[in-house]
Structure 1
Amino acid sequence: MNREQIKEKMVSAMDLPKDVIQNASVITILGRNELCIENYRGIIEYTDTLIRVQTRAGQIRIQGKRLRIQYYTNDEMKVTGALSSLEFTEGRNPG
């Protein structure tokens, strides 16, 4: 049994949220104009039509129009604008 499997069993046994134990990202989407990301690692790219965010598991790619990072802290950010797509990519910094 590897380390991730052990963590998974502990989370299940203790009935704790995965984001707490595994530091997984939590994404909350409110309608088509607001998105919050918790537990991210960094901002890779930021334009008014594309925002790429690095997480522990890979990248989150947000596309839309008039995108804006409303605020960000060390572990949370809020994106606003006309959201058109959200894409997940495993691994680190794919092109």
Structure 2
Amino acid sequence: MEKEQLRERLASAASMPKDVVMKAAVVTAVGNFEVCIENYRGITEYTECLVRVQTKGGQIRLSGKGLRVEYYTNDEMKITGRIESIEFADGRNKE
């Protein structure tokens, strides 16, 4: 945990974005129909009602209807559909 605090202080002192220094996930929502996630590690579950994405800091869980991964690259993905909720769980929580 001390490493993360040091990185956060470094990012703040150097005026660098935290997502760059800490490799934090960046989640951008456009209404309730589109979400882009950057800096992710992988997709752990994918159905039309649930998409779970693993990140360095834990897991992002999108719930809804008609969910679809429109595209994904090594750095970014776009999920569309009727998004009803976005949940974040740190790496210590197990489902």
Question: Could you state the TM-score of these two structures normalised by the residue count of structure 1?
Answer: 0.93
**Structure 1, unaligned stretches of length 5 or more?**
none
Q: Distance in 2 between matches of 1:29 and 1:49?
A: 17
| TM superposition shift of 1:8 | 1.6
- Comparing 4-13 with 35-44, greater Cα deviation is found at 4-13
**Structure 2, unaligned stretches of length 5 or more?**
none
Q: Distance in 2 between matches of 1:92 and 1:66?
A: 29
Q: Distance in 2 between matches of 1:92 and 1:75?
A: 23
The C-alpha deviation readout for 1:19-58, integer Å capped at 9, x for no partner, is 0011000000001100000000000000000000000011
| TM superposition shift of 1:4 | 2.1
Q: 1:60 to 1:36 in 2, by over 3 A?
A: same
CA RMSD after TM alignment: 1.2
Q: Which residue of 2 aligns with 1:58?
A: 58
Question: Could you state the TM-score of these two structures normalised by the residue count of structure 2?
Answer: 0.93
> Structure 1 vs Structure 2: percent identity of aligned residues?
57
